[in-house]
């Protein structure tokens, strides 16, 4: 396979801290190989900024293999960039053309305040999990793993929902900044399994209450979340969440 190098412009959101005013700054980046990952392209730019005496662009990232959920970035108007079912760290420069201008913004949502440049604070997600995104079982209480057979189809559906990496792309893609896909994935994962049944009602009510408290918007079923989700979490989970929520509201003590 032959490889090409390209020269690009990147237009990046720069913001010193949570309270400072921010703005776009445009940089030229030259000699970018199409074999590089998107974040490696930013590494190259940062290396240059540092040696020139400037300040590198701050962005969150860690595993760089699409599973930790730490990377974000709104690239040319799309969370995680142009590829389907993909995270920013797995996006490669093959996706772009020589001479192109790439616009890079942070996740835009009031519930994800900016820390610096492209880094945002997603601790609201942790607080939603704290509100009930677990099964209350202390260590050492468990019975034998095979004492509770679970239908394969249900186990597979629970797994499909549990694949959520908590990156927040669903919120960033949504015009209302709704966290319903994230929340519904966790509620689905736990309510599909018999182990999750005892807390089924309280879980959904208190997680939804926490989501509202964090200021995430309402769901209007446009499906932008599903379309952008790097793990292809299905919007059917939101339907399941609504059913769980309604059932719990009607029968709660």
Q: How many H helices and E strands in the chain?
A: 8, 7
Q: Out of 7, 123, 218, 220, point to the residue binding another protein (CB under 8 A).
A: 123
For the segment 2-61, give every residue that binds another protein (CB under 8 A). 16-17, 33-37, 39-40, 43-44, 47, 49-51, 53-56, 58, 60-61
186: closest CA among 196, 177, 176, 173? 196
Say if residue 187 is exposed, middle or buried (CB neighbours under 10 Å; 0-12, 13-18, 19+). Answer: buried
Residue closer to another protein by CB (options 1, 250) is: 1
DSSP 8-state class, residue 123: H
DSSP 8-state class, residue 77: T
Q: Applying CB under 8 A, does 202 fall inside the site for another protein?
A: no
Q: Which two tokens stand for residue 119?
A: 């880094």
Q: Applying CB under 8 A, does 151 fall inside the site for another protein?
A: yes
**CB 178, min distance to another protein, A:** 20
Q: Applying CB under 8 A, does 142 fall inside the site for another protein?
A: yes
For 199, the 3-state DSSP assignment is helix
Residue closer to another protein by CB (options 37, 76) is: 37
Q: Among 148-156, 170-178, 219-227, 245-253, which window interacts with another protein (CB under 8 A)?
A: 148-156
**CB 76, min distance to another protein, A:** 18
First to last CA, the chain: 65
């Amino acid at each position: 396979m032959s490889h090409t190098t390209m020269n690009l412009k990147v237009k990046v959101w720069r913001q010193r801290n949570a309270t400072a005013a921010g703005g776009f700054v445009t940089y030229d980046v030259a000699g970018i190989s199409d074999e590089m990952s998107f974040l490696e392209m930013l590494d190259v730019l940062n290396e240059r900024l540092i040696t020139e005496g400037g300040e590198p662009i701050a962005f969150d990232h860690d595993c760089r293999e699409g599973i930790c959920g730490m990377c974000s970035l709104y690239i040319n108007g799309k969370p995680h960039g142009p590829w389907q079912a993909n995270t920013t760290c797995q996006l490669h420069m093959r996706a772009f053309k020589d001479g192109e201008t790439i616009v890079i913004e942070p996740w835009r949502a009031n519930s994800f305040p900016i820390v610096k440049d492209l880094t945002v604070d997603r601790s609201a997600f942790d607080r939603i999990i704290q509100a009930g995104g677990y099964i209350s079982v202390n260590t050492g209480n468990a019975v034998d793993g095979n004492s509770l057979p679970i239908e394969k189809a249900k186990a597979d559906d629970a797994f499909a929902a549990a694949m959520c990496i908590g990156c927040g792309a669903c919120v960033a893609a949504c015009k209302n900044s709704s966290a319903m896909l994230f929340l519904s994935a966790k509620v689905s994962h736990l309510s599909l399994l018999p182990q999750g049944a005892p807390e089924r009602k309280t879980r959904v009510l208190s997680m939804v209450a926490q989501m509202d408290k964090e200021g995430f918007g309402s769901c209007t079923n446009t499906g932008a979340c599903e379309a952008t989700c790097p793990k292809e979490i299905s919007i059917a989970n939101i339907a399941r969440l609504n059913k769980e929520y309604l059932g719990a509201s009607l029968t709660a003590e």
